[in-house]
Structure 1
Amino acid sequence: MKKIFLTLGLVLGLSPLFAQDDDIDFNSDNSWLKAGITAGVPVGDAGDVSSFSLGADLRGQYLFNPNVGIGIATGYTNYFEEDENDDFGVIPLAGFIRYYFTPNGLFFGTDVGYGFLTGVDDNDGGVYVNPQIGYHNRDWNFYAYYQNTFAENDIDVQAVGLGVTYNIRFK
């Protein structure tokens, strides 16, 4: 049931991105890809079996106005083994929203979607959230995050960490 509500929420929440509106003009000032890396410390259930997380972050963003951006986020976060446990990972498929206070400076936002687990038996994944707060300029984003995948069988895969992305502008 969670998957149905999550899918419905993503479709309705991201539908403005795909609307057939002649006024939407994707250009280098309002649309770009963000590519970067994350590094974190697993906490909760993940902290019991992993000592470090390292990930890749890929996003497509559209700015509605100078302060509000929405988009789609994915990537991969690997949780490295601790005490004879195997590595495992999370592949998110999420929508995101960000609020930029000024053209350069503080932002906050969150990703909401589904996190697919890799390297974990009998568990496909679950609801994925990733709130962030950070600093941005025209080319870079530096942020702190809390990542949580509410996976099946009452397992929460959580990490806190830092990330950086570079904005790849559309021409």
Structure 2
Amino acid sequence: MKKLFLILGISVIGFNTVNAQEEVNVEITPDNSWLKAGLTAGVPVGDASDFASFNVGADVRAQHLFTPNWGVGVASGYNHYFGKDGVDDFGMIPLAGFVRYYFTPSGLFFGSDLGYGFLTNVDNNEGGLYVNPQIGYHNRDWNIYGYYQNTFTENDLNLQSVGVGVTYNIRFK
């Protein structure tokens, strides 16, 4: 896990060093930057299906389109897992960067989050690497998507779920 974070860190530093030679003037407008807020619902799979029956969550994002097709940003929220067979409910708070590719101004998109998932109400496990690929439909105001979410937590436990989400775009004025 430490090697993965080291490789990611070196890649980001290298990318920023190459791009630092060009001065970029970024203008934030309602047409290229906005907040996304919404809800998700999923079914745990893999290891998670042994101790959780369902999960719901809140999805909060800030996005900037740096071309008409490519968007980047930060993502967070909260995912609540409903325990089963005597297991208490628990949660996961993601803190991630994300990238999305929009094929057209309205239509199909795909993207992924990459970051860290912090676990709540779980003993002896703080969290781990968080990955959340998505594919969906978007228009100027809404995003509807399917996702596969995986948090590679400590103690060789993968917290995985598949589900659907919907977010509303809150434009800057």
**What is the TM-score of this pair, normalised by structure 1?**
0.91
What residue in structure 2 maps to residue 160 of structure 1? 162
Runs of 4 or more, structure 1, over 3 Å off, are: 9-16, 19-22
What residue in structure 1 maps to residue 105 of structure 2? 103
Does the 8 Å contact 1:110/1:130 carry over to 2? yes
Aligned residue pairs: how many?
Answer: 169
Partner SS for 1:27: coil
Describe the superposition over 1:101-157 as per-residue Cα deviations: whole angstroms up to 9, x where unpaired: 000000000000000111110011000000000000000000000000000000000
AA of the residue aligned to 1:166: Y
What residue in structure 2 maps to residue 91 of structure 1? 93
Q: 2:59 aligns with which of 57, 60, 72?
A: 57
Structure 2: tracts of 5 or more residues without a match: none
Q: 2:116 aligns with which of 100, 110, 114?
A: 114
Does the 8 Å contact 1:14/1:71 carry over to 2? no
What residue in structure 2 maps to residue 128 of structure 1? 130
Distance 2:7 2:62 in 1: 20
Distance 1:151 1:142 in 2: 27
CA RMSD across the alignment? 2.2
Distance 1:53 1:60 in 2: 23
Higher Rg: 2
What residue in structure 2 maps to residue 144 of structure 1? 146
Query: Residues 139 and 28 from structure 1, CA distance in 2 versus in 1: closer, same or farther, beyond 3 angstroms?
Result: same
Partner SS for 1:41: strand
